[in-house]
Amino acid sequence: MKFAYTIVYVADVAASLAFFEVAFALPTRFLHESGSYGELETGATALAFVDHATARDSMGGDYIAAGASKLPLGMEIGLVTDDVAAAFERAVKAGAQALTPPLTKPWGQTVAYVRCPDGTLVELCTAMA
C-alpha cells in the first residue's frame, strides 16, 4: 500500500482551493472545468477537494459535511511549517477560525489549530525532531 491522497468534501471547490492558497500558500495544481474537483500543489501525496454532489454520487450515500457540523470533525489535515505563529496569523487573516493558538508541546513540537471556512480542521505544526 501507498498513501496517495486525501479528498475533502466541500460546498465550493474553487473557494476552498483559493482559501488554501491564500491561507497556507499551497497553489492550485488542478481544477476540473466542471468545478467539482480540484487539487493543491502538495508534492507526491495529493490534497484534493470534491463538491458534495459528486462525493455523494461517488460514495453512493450521505455523510456529515464538515461545514454543516457545529464542531470540527474527528480528523485533521496537518501542515508542517518552521513558523507556526506566522502561519496561524496568516490563516486567521485569510478567514480561518482560530481554535488553538500556537503552543509548544512537552515533546518540543509547536502546534496550532484553525478551522477553515469549509469546516476543515487544520493543524499547523513544526516537524517532529
Domain ranges of the chain: 5-125
Do residues 8 and 47 touch, judged by C-beta distance below 8 A? yes
- CA gap 104, 49 in Å, rounded: 31
What pTM, to 2 d.p., does this model score?
A: 0.94
pLDDT of residue 75: 96
Q: Are strands 37-40 and 46-51 parallel, antiparallel or unpaired?
A: antiparallel
pLDDT in tens, the chain (129 residues): 999 999 999 999 999 999 999 999 999 999 999 999 999 999 899 999 999 999 999 999 999 999 999 999 999 999 999 999 999 999 999 999 999 999 999 999 999 999 999 999 999 999 987
Strands (E), 23-129: 28-31, 37-40, 46-51, 77-80, 97-104, 110-115, 121-125
pLDDT of residue 38: 98
The CATH superfamily of 5-125 is: 2,3-Dihydroxybiphenyl 1,2-Dioxygenase, domain 1 (3.10.180.10)
- CA gap 37, 54 in Å, rounded: 8
